[in-house]
Amino acid sequence: MALRFATTRNKPLPKFTLAFVLASFTLIWLAQTRPQWQLFAQLAILPQDFSRMDYLALREWHRLLTALFLHANWFHWLGNMVIFLPLGIHLERHTSSLWLTVVFLLSGLVGNLASLLALHDSSHFLLGASGAISGLLGAWLRLFPQKRLHVLIPVGLYLQKARIPIVIFILIWLVTQFALQLNSHNYQVAWSAHIAGFLTGFLLASLMRP
């Protein structure tokens, strides 16, 4: 799948997008080169601690944001970056670095809070940028509903080019998230963060029109 956007504007450097990629890359590298639990214990979220109103958790609400920069493994990181890079670059160039930063962090924050409610008794670390990235999808849908994705569809032995409206792609994605959330006992993924982040990004884009 490829994303193509035509524009005649000067293209400013997507500062936040590049900074997030660099920061998350550095953290996943550190997590893979030393005892992983140490980094997660310092920056990730442990839902059961928050649900018990643990003494330590009460004084470390910053974890709701720092957890966005952590990933469980390289596959997790790459999967998020494949979606984040085109979204972040496009949105940042058509809005501003500050606008994108606010939407990204607030969507991730709300997504993590939703996950805490859904996974309140979990002993697994909650981490990853999926909720924040879902917020960018929601913002993208609100600001650029007419955009189309250029995709390759396999037809027999050939690949057929097609242009799919972004609204259809995102709606399919959102329905999938709701379906997975209903069957979330079979997964260790915070689907609720995806849904809450998406809705937050959509609302913020409505309130904070660039």
- Whole-angstrom Cα Rg for the chain: 18
Length of the chain: 210
Q: Which amino acid makes up residue 166?
A: I
Known catalytic residue: 185? no
What is the sign, positive or negative, of the torsion defined by CA atoms of 169, 175, 177, 180?
negative
What are the CB-based long-range contacts (under 8 Å, 24+) for 175-184? 177/134, 181/118, 184/118
* DSSP label at residue 128: -
Of the candidates 72, 71, 61, the one whose C-alpha atom is nearest the C-alpha of residue 20 is 71
Which of 115, 130, 134, 192 is catalytic? The answer is 130
Helix (H) or strand (E) holding 116: helix 97-118
Known catalytic residue: 194? yes
Distance CA 165, CA 170 (A): 9
Which of 71, 90, 94, 194 is catalytic? The answer is 194
Where b means 16+ CB within 10 Å and e means fewer, 74-103 reads: eebbeebbebbbbbbbbbbbbbebebbbeb
Residues tagged active-site: 130, 194
